[in-house]
Structure 1
């Protein structure tokens, strides 16, 4: 599931039923999880992204079972497949690095969010609260900068996947092709996650082309406004920005609820990301162990 402005569907396509041994239950499990992920890439709420992360966990559990099959191990260990396997391993490093960026972004935003909530529960001066809000907004700028870099890496990886060739070595080649599909859908989900954490408009900063009509521009703005309404992190930030600009105490009254919602959202996403992160590491280690045998 990707946000509407960052919903980059991988142009890499392969027949998902080309897994080894079509009658094997792992085949249907991986097919099902891939299809679930591809079908859920139109929404951009925290719950939908959380659902995507859960689906990724299920997908990588199925991948783990696939990698236990002797046919899969033989396919990965073949010398003629070595270049493709190394590409997958290189891609897994990028994915792990992106996951760390996302985890750091969530952790940093959560820490600042909790600090602001603590201040609001105590006696506070307007000046003191303003200073803390500014620290929070500065932190969010740093988060966006890191996310922008991670998104560029994902975009580069996505382009490589879309231009990469398929393995044509029968059932053994199908193992490689399946892992490519898994990698491609993982890229898409992580793009969506990073975009959600950063807020609407991030992808437009990466694009080299400009909107060519007023209609397209208005449509993009409308999409971003809709996403902002459904994004707990962005809503909290918007409320704090409004307070800084206007000094209206009404915004402070709203801030407590928005910050609580943001913290709950961050906790849920962080839990799902951490669970997926462990599975991604396990898959990489398994492939490395197969190659070393």
Structure 2
């Protein structure tokens, strides 16, 4: 009888040991670090597109993580309802970005069509160019309002800590996504991209200096179109230059539009999964 008690106690302690950490959590953490690293140099349409693609991949991994009962329980206990509420605002911002990109692409295509026709009537050409600039001004106003409403709360002091929870990873992913959309909107606005978000995130003075020195691709287009309107350097030369720039940017704008659409679908799917967890 006496010899059986130690075994009984040992067995009771063994079943109460904490479960083995989910191997998908450190994988997701590493994915986030890579996203932030790529986002720190996101100063062109191509680089922003790549960063958004990486964000989509991260949410794919989160979807796998949310299949585990332990993860679902932790999500509820850690205050996942806050993440769910903020996800709606994130979706709204992404939808705004998608609409702005679509409108910008349409405006660029119309301008290209106009320049390819090489209107003989200067008044007709001027009218088409002014219509493009007016549409760009409208897009910039929309972007300025979105950026004004975009309030990013820095939570990256916890980024180097071990054992990140599902909720903390989702919060951090939200911040990185917001930073990507901020970069996207700033670039589409057509002004030099500020490093206020990713530069601060990576604590890199070199990255900040490099990005402040770069010009937005659409900034170059707008400048060339204004010059074309004033005929400062010769209409024919400027028309060729504008067409060249538009041709180079068109495919990158298209890729960016597809990535944002993919991100929106991914965010909706994740939101549905989170809703299901909280409602069970």
Q: Does the 8 A contact of 2:36 with 2:176 survive in 1? A: yes
Change (3 A) 1:148 1:197: same
Aligned residue for 1:128?
Answer: 124
**1:83-132 alpha-carbon deviations (Å, 9 max, x no partner):** x3232122211111111111111111111111111122225122212111
Matched, 1:234 2:216: no
26, 37, 40: which is aligned to 1:39? 37
Partner of 2:252: 265
Residue 26 of structure 2 corresponds to residue 28 of structure 1: yes
Q: Deviations over 1:252-292 (max 9, x none)?
A: 12111112122212101101111111111111111011111
Question: Who is 1:66 aligned against?
Answer: 65
- Determine the C-alpha separation between the residues in 2 that align with 1:227 and 1:142: 24
Q: Which runs of 5+ in 2 are unaligned?
A: 1-18, 196-207
One of 197, 217, 222 as aligned partner of 2:188: 197
Which runs of structure 1 show a deviation greater than 3 angstroms over 4 or more consecutive aligned residues? 20-23, 161-165, 201-204
Cα distance between partner residues in 1 of 2:42 and 2:270:
28
What residue number does 1:116 align with? 111
Q: Residues 274 and 105 of structure 1: is their aligned pair in 2 closer, same or farther, counting only changes over 3 Å?
A: same
Q: Is the CA contact (8 Å cut-off) linking 1:94 and 1:153 kept in structure 2?
A: no
Please tell me whether residue 287 in structure 1 is matched to residue 278 in structure 2: no
The alignment status of 1:182 with 2:173, answered yes or no, reads: yes
Distance 1:202 1:135 in 2: 25
- State the match for 2:9 in structure 1: none
Distance change in 2, residues 1:39/1:282 (3 Å) = same
Q: Are the counterparts in 2 of residues 113 and 259 from structure 1 also a CA contact under 8 Å?
A: yes
The number of equivalent residue pairs is 244
Alignment partner of 1:96 is 2:91: yes
Q: 2:80: which partner in 1? A: 85
What secondary structure sits across from 1:87 in the alignment?
Answer: helix
Q: Which one has a bigger Cα radius of gyration?
A: 2
Contact 1:21 1:27 in 2 (8 A): no
Question: Does the residue aligned with 1:68 lie in a helix, a strand or coil?
Answer: coil
Q: Give, in whole Å, the separation in 1 of the partners of 2:192 and 2:219.
A: 12
Scaled by the length of structure 1, the TM-score of the pair is 0.74
CA distance in 1, matches of 2:49, 2:131: 28
The SS at the match of 1:42 is coil
Cα distance change on mapping 1:153 and 1:88 into 2, 3 Å:
farther
Q: What pairs up with 1:47-62 in 2 under 5 angstroms?
A: 47-62=46-61
